[in-house]
Amino acid sequence: MVNVDIKGCASFIEPAKYEAYVNKALEAFDVLESENGAGNDFLGWKHLPSEVPASILGDIDAICHLWKEKGVDLVIAIGIGGSYLGAKCVIEALSHNFARQLKHKDAPEVVFAGNNLSEEYLAELMDLAAERNVACIVISKSGTTTEPAVAFRIVKQFIEQRYGKADAAQRIVAITDAKKGALKTLSTQEGYKTFVVPDNVGGRFSVLTPVGLLPIAAAGLDTKALLEGARKAENALAVKSAQNPAVVYAAMRNLLFSEYGKSTEILVNYNPKLSFVAEWWKQLYGESEGKDGTGIFPASVNNTADLHSMGQFIQQGTRIMFETVLHVETAQRSMVIGSDEQNLDQLNFLSGKHVEHCNHMAELGTRLAHIDGGVPQMTVSIEKLDAQNLGALLYFFEFACGVSAYTLGVNPFNQPGVEDYKKNMFALLEKPGYEEATQAIRARI
């Protein structure tokens, strides 16, 4: 379902070195599969596709049904980082590009909040909410993250004022820790339906828990097909082999980084629907590998748009990067370029051709040009951008991330550095308990 092609790296590497890194990746594969490596209390994501309880899917369906009966047409999904990007990337990838503008709507619109602290964003979100029939999914594993907590306070007050407390309790669903945290306490007190983020699943690996599945289902998308695709990938990737796509990807990216100084990986797409898959991937790899003074910096471009902005740098700038191209074999819609009698734009040589054919030629031409310019290329392919293939792709990147981070020698499942900005922010905001830090930070500014 997911294929990795490394031919575009061949001219940059020595085969013996690649073999050595395949062996390192196979050792890392064993660590991941034996579940005795660093961070092994966070491996619950590995078997989510095959073990997600039917009761969870039933509960998710029941909420979507209840909200449909109430006429809900706007679902505000509140969360940040791993409590946001999985749902956002799946909804963007599987929805009509112009779902918001089309008159016919099959499902509520899902919008996101709590992923920034912009006053304008929240004020304008409330302008939208004022015109719509609103429900809310608030997601925070810790239940204490500032950005979603601020957004939720505002959205909760709006929903309670508009619909009353009893109806609000049916319009608000919380996804949080099973036992602890402010959001758990509040949900119990207010009688919200809650879903649990399993203790052994970290935020960036949580897309196939209710964290991702509820917003995705609320948007009317096929969670069962998404899980089915992930399940196929779970089975396929569990086979230890030098040809396992996760092993190949992990081996090559570590080789390029450690032996050839390629410290930036650019995930390239040729379909605007994939731009948030890249954002999700950046968090997955950035938080999992960027620690202990090492790690590949994950970046992304959306082509062909970015060929007209970042293309110059990639072709001829500092030679620090390799590219991983997300290749989608077939488009799911058809659009053929017509002929024109005058041919003023001189495009008649393309008449009768599919737009996607041009897209694929742009992709191929760019890959070859970037190889000539000194940028190694890998390709990660799926057959088409549907729920099954996307589920497989997400699981592939998760599994490969575990293999790759262990190959690099870091714990893939912690993120100690994320706390540092929070300490400074709380000190600056004079949070009780931070008095000393407030004084210290004031002395610096």
Kindly tell me which of 64 and 175 has the beta carbon lying closer to ligand PA5: 175
Handedness of CA 119, 215, 283, 175 (dihedral sign): positive
Is 430 catalytic? The answer is no
Identify whether the C-beta of residue 390 lies closer than 8 Å to the C-beta of residue 93.
Answer: yes
Least distance in angstroms from the C-beta of 137 to ligand PA5: 12
The alpha helices in 273-310, defined as continuous H runs, are 275-289
Q: Which of 7, 65, 165, 422 is catalytic?
A: 422
| C-alpha–C-alpha distance, residues 216 and 370, integer Å | 36
Q: Which of 109, 147, 279, 287 is catalytic?
A: 287
Least distance in angstroms from the C-beta of 120 to ligand PA5: 22
Q: Which of 103, 104, 179, 308 is catalytic?
A: 308
Least distance in angstroms from the C-beta of 147 to ligand PA5: 8
Residues near ligand PA5 (CB under 6 A) are: 80-83, 140-142, 145, 148, 202-204, 287, 415, 418
- By residue count, the chain amounts to 445
Least distance in angstroms from the C-beta of 275 to ligand PA5: 19
Identify whether the C-beta of residue 277 lies closer than 8 Å to the C-beta of residue 93.
Answer: yes
Residue 93 has which token pair?
């990838």
The alpha helices in 3-145, defined as continuous H runs, are 15-34, 48-51, 54-69, 85-94, 119-131
Kindly tell me which of 286 and 409 has the beta carbon lying closer to ligand PA5: 286
Cβ atoms within 10 Å, residue 426:
17
Least distance in angstroms from the C-beta of 413 to ligand PA5: 9
Task: Give burial (CB, 10 Å; 0-12/13-18/19+) of 388.
Answer: buried
Identify whether the C-beta of residue 385 lies closer than 8 Å to the C-beta of residue 273.
Answer: yes
Least distance in angstroms from the C-beta of 145 to ligand PA5: 3
Element (H, E) at 195: strand 193-196
Identify whether the C-beta of residue 238 lies closer than 8 Å to the C-beta of residue 10.
Answer: no
Identify whether the C-beta of residue 221 lies closer than 8 Å to the C-beta of residue 391.
Answer: no
Kindly tell me which of 198 and 374 has the beta carbon lying closer to ligand PA5: 198
Least distance in angstroms from the C-beta of 151 to ligand PA5: 11
| C-alpha–C-alpha distance, residues 337 and 350, integer Å | 7
Is 422 catalytic? The answer is yes
Cβ atoms within 10 Å, residue 99:
17
Identify whether the C-beta of residue 109 lies closer than 8 Å to the C-beta of residue 73.
Answer: yes
Q: For 9-21, give one letter per residue: b (16+ CB within 10 A) or e.
A: beebbeeeebeeb
Kindly tell me which of 158 and 285 has the beta carbon lying closer to ligand PA5: 285
Kindly tell me which of 141 and 291 has the beta carbon lying closer to ligand PA5: 141
Angle between helices 210-218 and 223-237 (to 10 degrees): 140
Kindly tell me which of 311 and 402 has the beta carbon lying closer to ligand PA5: 402
Identify whether the C-beta of residue 201 lies closer than 8 Å to the C-beta of residue 45.
Answer: yes
Is 179 catalytic? The answer is no
Least distance in angstroms from the C-beta of 357 to ligand PA5: 39
Kindly tell me which of 287 and 398 has the beta carbon lying closer to ligand PA5: 287
Kindly tell me which of 80 and 321 has the beta carbon lying closer to ligand PA5: 80
Place of tokens 């991702």: 212
Show which residues are catalytic: 287, 308, 422
